[in-house]
Amino acid sequence: MALTTLLWMIAVGFGLGMIWNYENSQEAEQAAPLRWPAESLTNLVSNRPTLVMVVHPQCPCTRASIGELALLMARAQGLVSANVLFFKPAGFPEGWEKTDLWSSAENIPGVTVVCDEGGIEARRFNQKTSGAVVLYDPNGRLLFTGGITGSRGHSGENDGRTAIVALLIGEVAKRTQTPVFGCSLVDEYDLCSEGEDLCSRRGQPWTDTDQ
């Protein structure tokens, strides 16, 4: 009986450890351009900072990031222009990208939602993880890059949202780069339309030939 109990405790501990590691695993740092990419079709506004978030529409982890964006926008009304770019592999059916995440982002006041066909815009900002955010000032200078959740798929107070709000209200941010917890964006050759769990398929960055 004692041996059975011990083995059960070990199994439970191992399982909890795997869950903790998964929720706190992050993608490799992705250096955003220090200046707004001139070739970007996303509009850089001239009277307030511009925020861009990249999203994979099939990534369940990103629900938390969209929720955090809603809180951020409520706190910084009129202080930022926000754009959410929904990745859609080239050649995939029209409307593939319009999941519940699209609807949630579209319902946030002050947010513009755009389909990023083939991930072209995400590449221009060098962002490869769903939920990644970049913030630029009106002159096109990078202010912040990173995620706005504290762990994978979890909402709550976090360094990313705190930093962006501080920058928007004219305060000094303690951090200008934070980890990104989310699914890797994948290219058009992946069968992501078949419902595979993208959270388990991290670490598949684009190669130079994809750009």
Domain architecture of the chain: domains with CATH: 37-210 (3.40.30.10)
Among 61, 37, 11, residue whose Cα is nearest residue 184: 61
Q: Which amino acid is at 210?
A: D
Structure tokens at 102: 């699209």
pLDDT in tens, 159-207: 999 999 999 999 999 999 999 999 988 643 343 434 444 443 433 333 3
Among 194, 173, 192, 174, residue whose Cα is nearest residue 184: 192
Residue listed under structure tokens 């221009």? 124
pLDDT in tens, 28-50: 456 899 999 999 999 999 999 99
Contact (CB, 8 A) for 77 and 110: yes
Confidence of residue 3 (pLDDT cuts 50, 70, 90): low
Q: Coil, strand, or helix at residue 166?
A: helix
Output the pTM of the full model.
0.77
| Dihedral, 153, 62, 100, 106 alpha carbons, nearest 10 | 130
